[in-house]
């Protein structure tokens, strides 16, 4: 059997370095990659979310992460939302908090009930 060719999308340092590893090290790398993927796909803990974020149950979500209902400030200093008081803030809107490359990120999902 011929050694498999690596995907062209992999960085050169991996495609050159991995074949040089012994089988035991390759198994350790494989285990580490699986755990790393699991970590990145996990939901964001509620204690990591902004104070104004309220997690919502979302059925049939193909995306990883945690969806929350959140009121936000618009960034306009003349708007009454600039005070940061929840009744004066805009929303609520849905945001998905997730991990990408080990960093917590968020993206706008929409208004509640607009899915």
What's this model's pTM, rounded to 2 decimal places?
A: 0.57
| Residues 49, 71: Cα–Cα separation, whole Å | 13
* Spans of all domains in the chain: 12-41, 46-110
- 1-25: pLDDT as tens digits: 998 999 999 999 999 999 999 999 9
**80-86: long-range contacts at Cβ-Cβ below 8 A with a sequence spacing of 24 or more?**
86/52
Cβ–Cβ contacts within 10 Å for residue 65, how many? 23
Over residues 83-102, the mean pLDDT reads: 82
- 32-83: pLDDT as tens digits: 999 988 877 776 777 788 777 888 876 445 567 788 898 888 878 888 887 7
């Amino acid at each position: 059997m011929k050694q498999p060719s690596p995907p062209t999308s992999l960085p050169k340092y991996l495609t050159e370095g991995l074949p040089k590893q012994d089988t035991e090290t390759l198994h350790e790398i494989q285990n580490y990659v699986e755990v790393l993927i699991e970590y990145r796909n996990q939901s964001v803990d509620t204690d990591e979310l902004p104070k104004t974020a309220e997690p919502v149950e979302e059925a049939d979500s193909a995306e990883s992460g945690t969806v929350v209902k959140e009121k936000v400030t618009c960034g306009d200093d003349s708007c009454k939302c600039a005070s940061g008081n929840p009744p004066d803030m805009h929303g609520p809107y849905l945001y998905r908090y997730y991990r990408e490359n080990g960093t917590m990120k968020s993206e706008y999902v929409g208004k509640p009930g607009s899915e």
